[in-house]
A = this chain, B = another copy of it.
């Protein structure tokens, strides 16, 4: 096998081949570094990477006989998640060269399973909406989405096999949809958040950017100490809830087309598809999410806001001003609305196996100053349900357009199983 394909193989194949000794961890890491070397000037996905150090880690793994389930697999880490051997800089001058003491929980677990922590991926400033330098790997004049910009772009561009992202509004699924890769936001709190710099702790969820469902499932099986999710038979017949959400009017033609096409082809594949209308009270979840975000972020960042405000963008300063002056009753009402809405989810789901919904408004918008509209992702984030963007479609500018599947809380394996089934039926955009 030629070394320059190793960066493109699925993670599941990489770990199998390393386990059987047919390839080395060093060769896999070298293939990723070669791709980065060729493409990073255009994509700008990495906030920190030390090629020599990465190769050293890979060589150490090659010399280790006790092989973990991810032995030799390169992984990227969004730069708001702590790493003990690399700085964690939050895309902010306030955290320039900041070196955490320990790995975040999610990093330590993958590392203990043999992963090569390849480097830190670009985040929007403090996982908010003020973008870093990353471009869309399919057209550098378009945004990659955010705030997990570097993770989405690096995985889609074959620079690394998988990466951690985080989602407070739409920060995992939107870059996944825009870059054309799998973006999986688990149930809230499923991936341990120790070592994550919070944005808003009632919303923040660590997720994964990967190229296949199997790769996301592999990483989750290690993070959670669970078996791989069930592979459903091809003739399984799901009942699917089609949910356009309260934000449907912002869907662009390519997103409407992607949903229409999905409905048509999944119906042909045997699925029963029913419309699901969200309760009217859910329309207020968007404002509630903003209230949670600003109130909590103003507390998370209270020290910086007091002592180093010059390091902060106007964008984030506006949120901090709003959150600092917000009366508790506004926040309290938002939390109670969110809790009450979650309590209605069993009724919303009824007897469907999963929900099909828009993933983003459309293709990645042109320009790098705005990472796109988070509404289609954020309305599910505040509900704490697991969601996944599947890289199924293309838009008019030949840029990817995803579709979103939504599962029940704490039933992530079921969502992953059905996601695999859906991708098998619809194929991917490339």
Assess whether A327 is interfacial by the CB under 8 Å rule: yes
Give bound CA distance, A300 to B329, whole Å.
Answer: 33
A294 CB, min distance to chain B CBs, angstroms:
12
Q: Are A328 and B194 in touch, CB under 8 angstroms? A: no
Q: Are B105 and A300 in touch, CB under 8 angstroms? A: yes
* A322-358 vs B, Cβ < 8 Å mask (1 yes, 0 no): 0011111101100110010001000000000000000
Given contacts A98-B101, A201-B192, contact A335 B410 (CB under 8 A): yes
Given contacts A201-B193, A202-B189, contact A109 B328 (CB under 8 A): no
Q: Are A306 and B225 in touch, CB under 8 angstroms? A: no
Q: Are B112 and A302 in touch, CB under 8 angstroms? A: yes
Give bound CA distance, A306 to B84, whole Å.
Answer: 13
* A69-101 vs B, Cβ < 8 Å mask (1 yes, 0 no): 000000000000000100000000001001001
Q: Are B108 and A302 in touch, CB under 8 angstroms? A: yes
Assess whether A103 is interfacial by the CB under 8 Å rule: yes
A197 contacts which chain B residues (CB < 8 A)? Answer: 194
**Most chain B beta carbons < 10 A, residue from A107, A108, A202:** A108
A225 contacts which chain B residues (CB < 8 A)? Answer: 324-328
Assess whether A299 is interfacial by the CB under 8 Å rule: yes
Smallest CB-CB separation from A83: which chain B residue?
B303
A336 contacts which chain B residues (CB < 8 A)? Answer: 410
Assess whether A102 is interfacial by the CB under 8 Å rule: yes
- 8 A Cβ contacts from A276-308 to B: 296, 299-300, 302-304, 306
A299 contacts which chain B residues (CB < 8 A)? Answer: 105-106, 108-109, 192, 194
Assess whether A224 is interfacial by the CB under 8 Å rule: yes
Q: Are A198 and B189 in touch, CB under 8 angstroms? A: no
* A99-129 vs B, Cβ < 8 Å mask (1 yes, 0 no): 0011101111101100000000000000000
Give bound CA distance, A374 to B197, whole Å.
Answer: 30
Q: Are B303 and A84 in touch, CB under 8 angstroms? A: yes
Out of B95, B224, B343, name the residue touching A343 (CB < 8 Å): B343
Out of B101, B108, B300, name the residue touching A306 (CB < 8 Å): B108
A247 contacts which chain B residues (CB < 8 A)? Answer: none
A201 contacts which chain B residues (CB < 8 A)? Answer: 189, 192-194
A102 contacts which chain B residues (CB < 8 A)? Answer: 303-304
Smallest CB-CB separation from A84: which chain B residue?
B303
Give bound CA distance, A325 to B224, whole Å.
Answer: 10
A306 contacts which chain B residues (CB < 8 A)? Answer: 108, 111-112
Give bound CA distance, A329 to B412, whole Å.
Answer: 12
Assess whether A318 is interfacial by the CB under 8 Å rule: no
Assess whether A265 is interfacial by the CB under 8 Å rule: no
A148 CB, min distance to chain B CBs, angstroms:
19
**Most chain B beta carbons < 10 A, residue from A328, A331, A335:** A328
A346 CB, min distance to chain B CBs, angstroms:
10
A198 contacts which chain B residues (CB < 8 A)? Answer: 192-194
Out of B107, B194, B224, B302, name the residue touching A103 (CB < 8 Å): B302
Give bound CA distance, A326 to B225, whole Å.
Answer: 7
Q: Are A108 and B189 in touch, CB under 8 angstroms? A: no
Given contacts A299-B194, A300-B194, A410-B336, contact A329 B112 (CB under 8 A): no
* A241-264 vs B, Cβ < 8 Å mask (1 yes, 0 no): 000000000000000000000000
Give bound CA distance, A326 to B103, whole Å.
Answer: 21
| Pairs of residues from A and B, 3 with the lowest C-beta to C-beta distance, nearest first | A226-B328, A108-B302, A192-B299
A to B CB contacts below 8 Å, 9 in the list = A103-B302, A106-B299, A109-B299, A112-B302, A189-B201, A189-B202, A192-B300, A225-B324, A343-B343
- A: residues with CB less than 8 A from B are 84, 95, 98, 101-103, 105-109, 111-112, 189, 192-194, 197-198, 201-202, 224-226, 296, 299-300, 302-304, 306, 324-329, 331-332, 335-336, 339, 343, 409-410
New contact pairs (15) apart from A102-B303, A108-B302, CB-CB < 8 Å: A95-B101, A98-B101, A103-B302, A105-B300, A107-B303, A109-B299, A109-B302, A192-B201, A192-B300, A194-B201, A224-B328, A224-B331, A226-B329, A332-B410, A339-B410
